[in-house]
A and B are shown apart, each in its own frame.
Chain A
Amino acid sequence: MDEIEPRLKGLMLAGLAGEAGPYRRLLDELSGLLRAYYGRRCPPGLDAEDLVQETLIAVHTRRATYDAGQPFTAWAYAIARYKLIDALRRGRSHLRAPAEEADALFASLGAAGGAEAAMAARDLERVMADLPARTRQLIRETKVEGLSTREAAENHGMTESAVKVAIHRGLKALGGRYADPGQGGSG
């Protein structure tokens, strides 16, 4: 802990100052720590990697709550603990499906040509039907039309963070629908 804490704190402070490189190293290293944390604690039925991702999102979107006077690891683990409790409270269904499956769909959408791509695009619209309209629009813009998150954020008057989180959760909900059509993730 003696070494980890000052290093991560330094990276976090650089990240708060807007330095993307150190911030990315921070999230990388933190994801390893979180994997170990949830690996020990994650009960059956919850996906540990999803908790890691939820916690990284929370660390990112709520980073204004980190005080330079405070140990970084204590702050990050308090968020990790909150996320675990929150997931248990919500029930286990919504964290079942990793978002990778939906990503695979988009990969096939890009790789396939002609009729196959058209069919994939139609499938996509069908499975996205239950997502909130704005999330659907954001996914279409960034994953199909190829806009950057910044451009999409400007189109919708949202912050980039909010766009990234909305897309991530939308994809996760899609993944859930694919994995188990009976119960789409509603989170």
Chain B
Amino acid sequence: MNTDDLIASLSADLPRIAPGAAARRVALGLGLGALGSAVVMLAWLGPRPDLAQAVATPMFWMKFGYAAITGLILALLLTRLSKPAARLGALAAVAAIPFAIVVAMALMRYAQAPSEAHRAMLMGHSSMLCPWRIVAIGLPLLVGAVWAVRGLAPTRLWAAGMTAGACAGALGAAVYAIACNETSAPFLAIWYTLGMALVAALGAVAGSRLLRWR
């Protein structure tokens, strides 16, 4: 097929493209992924038994909010990374703001607490489980993110893969926050963030291969 024929063929019967199609695809992938993550969380761990009381405490919302807001900012960043030559602007830096706030709160709480409470603050009772649970719960979200981005046109595959992973990890952590009953800010800053970072690393390694498109 010569190039002129190809052009004639591509431009024949041209449907209209609705604006925002790329963002809708990312939202769909993450939405279906979040559904899968919620199913994994409910079937495997179940919501924390005291959820009804917990939602009245600031710590629940700090955990959920940290993860969910980070995840939403990263979803915007992921949409941009799915478009060739899109400018990222300050968004990559904005994604770190919730983390900075959580770290500041963790340092403050830690400094105020008596030293015999420090170990419990840092380790909680589930520090060895928490990051891995976030990885497992984040996996369906990662699948959804990769599906969405692959169908668009990422040109920086490592960055797109890492962002897909970080976004899946953060939204997965928000889902996990419904099951988790840890209550300290230092725990959140360390172990939730570690869980997100693990999914981000997985996304970077897997994404650079899985996101290739033709």
Contact = CB atoms under 8 A, between A and B. Distances in A.
A39 to B, nearest CB: 14
A100 interface: yes
Interface of A is mostly: helix
Nearest to B82: A65
B214 A149 contact: no
Interface residues of A, number: 50
B212 interface: yes
Interface stretch (A16-24, A108-116, A129-137, A177-185): A16-24
Q: Which of B6, B22, B152 has the most CB of A within 10 A?
A: B6
A182 B152 CA distance: 34
Interface of B is mostly: loop
Contacts, number: 107
Interface in A47-88: 49, 52-54, 56-58, 60, 62-68, 70-71, 74-79, 81-82, 86
B15 interface: yes
A160 B16 contact: no
Interface of B: 1-3, 5-17, 19, 21-22, 25, 82-87, 152-153, 155, 212-214
Interface of A: 15-20, 23-24, 27-28, 31, 49, 52-54, 56-58, 60, 62-68, 70-71, 74-79, 81-82, 86, 99-100, 102-103, 149-150, 160-161, 164, 168, 171-172, 187
| 3 tightest Cβ-Cβ pairs between the two chains A and B | A78-B84, A18-B16, A78-B85
21 contacts: A18-B15, A18-B17, A19-B14, A20-B13, A20-B14, A24-B8, A24-B11, A57-B6, A62-B153, A62-B213, A65-B82, A65-B153, A70-B83, A70-B85, A74-B85, A76-B84, A86-B214, A103-B2, A149-B9, A164-B10, A168-B6
